[in-house]
Every structure is written in C-alpha cells, then in structure tokens.
A and B are shown apart, each in its own frame.
Chain A
Amino acid sequence: MIARAPIVAVTLRGLLDRKRFWLMVALAAVPVLLMAMAVAFSDQPVEPEDFDTAVISLVLPLIALVFGTSAIGSELDEGTIVYLLTKPVRRLRIVLAKVLVAAALTAALVVPATLLTGLVATLGGSDVLAAGAAYALATALGGTAYVVIFLAVSTFTRWALAVGLVYVLLWEGILADLLPGTGQFSVRQATLGVARELADEPIPSGAIGLEQGLISLAIFIIGGIAIATWRMSRYQVRGGD
C-alpha cells in the first residue's frame, strides 16, 4: 500500500478489483478496433471528427461514469464509508483522493485508447497523429470533469448511474447539439473545443474553442469537488435500526 495515501490506495484497490475493470478495458478497446477495421477495409481517409464519434461521445463518458460513481458510491452503498468518516480526516481530502483515483483510471484507459486509435489511423495512411495526441490530452481533462460530476451526483443519490446516463445520452447526446450556445454547459462540447483547437482544426460556428472549453472544464471540476465536499461534510450515516 502507498504509505502516505491510504485513501487513494483503498479506493484504487476497490476499483481495480472486479470484472468491472476488465469490462472497461474492453470498452476502451472498441475505438481502437473500430479504427483498425476502418483502416483495413475502407478506402476513405480518416478525419479527426471520427475521434469524436468513436471516443469522446461514448467511451469516455461511459468509463468515467462507472469509475466516478463507484469511487464513492460503492462505499456509501456498502456502508464502509463509516471507516473514513469516523477519522480526523478532512472531507476534502477524502473527495480529492477519490477523484484522483477515478480520474487517473479513466485517463489510463482512454488516453492510450485515443493515442492508439490515432496510431492505427496513421499507419493506415491518414495524417492524424498530431490530432490523436491533441484529442488524447483533451480526453484526459474531459474525463476528469466527467468523473467529478458523476462523483458529486453519487453523493446525492443512489441512482447516480442512471442520472449520469440520462445526462450523457439526453443532454449531451441530443439537446446540446440542437441548442447552440449551450456548449459551455456540456463537458463533451468543452472537450471537443479544447481538442479541436489543439489539433489545429477549424471550429464550427457556435461551438466553443480552447479558452472557453478550458474555463468550462475548470468550473466543472472545481465546482463539482466543492459540492461533493460540502455534501460529505454533512453526510449522516444511518443505522439499520
């Protein structure tokens, strides 16, 4: 165990320990395989937008959802949170440790997946290596934002997974595309904004760019951590009595 960071260690052990982790690895492999098949069987060149479809809109939020809601949610459900709350430990430290682990695991899966996808595409002749790196960096930041949001939601309700899913599928999947100007309120749009500018792509009109994207993500991350910390400092552990 990492000596100075017991909460990080126990959260890490918890998230790694089940078949859930391997399912996430399989999910992260999907865009890579997709790209491999596209390269092998298609003549069309790969555009950077394809990274959006494959990774950012689906795999990233799903993986972040599972890790983000489990990091603290499973402890709240099981009741093991008692052992963290009855210690002279700041609630902020608990939240930060769990965000760190969930975000790191998400990035550990999604960043290599994005890089590999770009690599495969480059091997197939498209010039997207730089774009791949740009998207990888953006997904690391976007993943952290997703994780923080889902973690904060899981401190409010047991059904955080469902709520997160509704957010991803309905809000980010459909509405944010339809309603221009809501880009700042969508992690996906913020991530895309960062990625596009870093990859030197043109920004579609109405969509947000690097600065706005970074600001949005920062607000999500800081705000989410603040909300989760506030919630945990008021969390009361009921008994089964």
Chain B
Amino acid sequence: MDRRPSEGRGGSIYDLGYRGYEGPRLGRRAAIWALLAHSVRTAYGIGRNARSKVMPVGLAVLAVLPSMLALGILMLVTTLNAPAEVVEAFSPVAYSTIFPFIAILVFLFCASQAPELFGRDQQMGVLPLYFSRAIGRLDYAAARFLGLFASLLVLVLVPYLLLLVGRVLVAPDLFEGLAEELPSAPAALAVALMTAAVVGTLSSAVASLTPRRSYATVAIIAVFLVPNIVASSLVALETGLVGQIAAVLSPPDVLDGVNAYLFDARPDNITVLRAGIDGWVYVVAAFAWIAGSLAVLARRYRSMVV
C-alpha cells in the first residue's frame, strides 16, 4: 500500500487505501427481489413508525374476524352435538359469503397503501437513483406491484385458510371433514387471487399516475365507487344491455360476479343479480381489467420523465 503523498506544486493527494469494489454483484434478479421484499414491508408498515402500521395491520385483523366468528359459532354448535344440517344453517359465514367483506378490506388496503408504494418515490424524486442501477423501469414497476400483490395475498388468503382449517377440525371425522371442505378450496383460492389481482393492478395503475398520495387515494376510491354507483343505477332502471355493459365496467361488480360464478352461489350483490350476465363473462372481464391496468402501469413507467 503506497502511502506516500503524491506531491504537486502547492498540493498533495494522499492515498488512504481507497479501493473500488471488484467482487461479485448480485445483478438484476436480486435487485428486483430486494425491491419486492421492501415493498411488502412498506405495505405493512414494518420497520416504520406506528402510524404507518395502523391501516394495514388494522385491516388485516379485521379480515380474520368473520372467520374467527364463524369458527366460534361452529364450535359451539358442534359441541352441542347438533346434526350437520343445523350446523350448516348456523354458520353464517361460508366461503362465498365472506367475499364482499374481504373485498372491501382489500380495496381499502390498496387505497391506503398503493399511493405510498408508487407515489412516495415520485414525490421524493429518487427514481433516477433506482433507474441508474441494475433495475430497469419495468422491473421497478413489476417489483412494486408484485410486492403489493403479495401483501394482498396474505390479507386475503389467511381468512379463507382459517375458515377451511377450522371447519375441518370441527367436523366429526377428520378425513370426512377434509373431503367436504377441500372441493371448495380451489374456488376460494381462485377468488382470492382474482380479487388481489384486479384490485391490486387497478390501484397500482392509478397510484402510479400522480406523486401526490392524497390525490391518488381519492382517485382510487373514485375509480371503484363511481362505476359501481353508475352500474347499480342503470341496472336498477332496467336498461338492458347498457346496464350489463356498466356492470362489466365496474370492478367491484365484476369481482362479485366472479365470486358467484366460481362458487356457483346466488350473488349477494343486487346489481349482479339483476344484470343477467353469464358468469364466465365476469371472469373474462376480470382478466381484461388486469391486463388493462398492467398496460397503464407499464406505459406510465416507460414514459415517465425523471
């Protein structure tokens, strides 16, 4: 190590032993993964102050409440050794019925956390720092969205899982219980994934459009609420095809339709009930919403001026 100063006229430079880094670099995949993990932590307020945990943790707790409630009632009824039909009648919460409640919580979660995930970097002007690293523009958008999606999956799957496990345990025979509950599992999984995907992509797309987080929150709420009201009005007025188009253009109604279709149950949502659309149309519409939102998100980050 050469520590002699290099002398010049009126100045010297000292060798302090500074070295560049020549070692291995983890590369793009690791960068994306790191950002994804960071997004999940941001979404749940982990590593941040208490105020940023209130909304996400509060919503997560609320999400498991109906399942716990249902399990409580079920356990009560089975310890009294009632026949299966009575048990079923007494459990107000089935997989398909907890859906509207879960959906609202997912929506509130996104309205609160998506602006935080997408708006904060824009507002602070740190995007040039990201884009001058291994992570590309679309990689960034994908990592952020997948982080939100993963957070939503946790929020959504835990209630369904709790319900399933609880019902199996409460059944008189373990294997019989499993045999009864497992057929519902794929549908529950599909509904959970679909809800997280539709709400997540749409919220991400809207949140990415503005750095100001409060505007993004209002916009996300408006994007869900306004079409919903429009659709319910049009369907209530029995406008036929127009009402059906409005229902398909309204994300909450689309999700309700998907839920009803996959569980083959009667829809709780009046609009969906009266619109008279075949169930599979809702599924197609859900995929269309997902694709459209992702396209908006991609375009926004590709063309963003940083």
**Residue positions of A touching B, CB distance < 8 A:** 20, 23, 27, 30, 34, 37-38, 40-44, 50, 53-54, 58, 62, 65-66, 69, 159-162, 165, 169
Contacts and interface: CB of A to CB of B under 8 A. Distances in A.
Q: Which of B217, B221, B233, B240 has the most CB of A within 10 A?
A: B233
B233 A165 contact: no
Nearest to B230: A34
Interface string B155-183: 00000000000000000000000000000
Q: Is the interface of B mostly helix, strand, loop or mixed?
A: helix
Given A37-B242, A41-B241, A41-B242, A162 B233 contact: no
B264 interface: no
A161 B226 contact: no
Given A37-B242, A41-B239, A50 B233 contact: yes
A30 B230 contact: yes
B50 interface: no
A53 B239 CA distance: 17
A38 B237 contact: yes
Contact of B217 (A23, A43, A162): A162
B225 interface: yes
B222 A62 contact: yes
B37 to A, nearest CB: 27
B61 interface: no
Q: Which 10 A-B pairs rank lowest in CB-CB distance, beginning with the nearest?
A: A41-B239, A161-B214, A42-B237, A41-B242, A42-B239, A38-B237, A44-B237, A37-B242, A34-B230, A42-B238
B238 A161 contact: no
B123 to A, nearest CB: 11
Given A62-B218, A161-B214, A43 B238 contact: yes
B252 to A, nearest CB: 14
Given A58-B229, A62-B222, A165 B217 contact: yes
Given A27-B222, A62-B222, A159-B214, A38 B239 contact: yes
Nearest to A159: B214
Contacts of A23: 219
Contacts of B229: 53-54, 58
Interface in B239-255: 239-243, 246
A38 B233 contact: yes
B21 to A, nearest CB: 35
B305 to A, nearest CB: 15
B263 interface: no
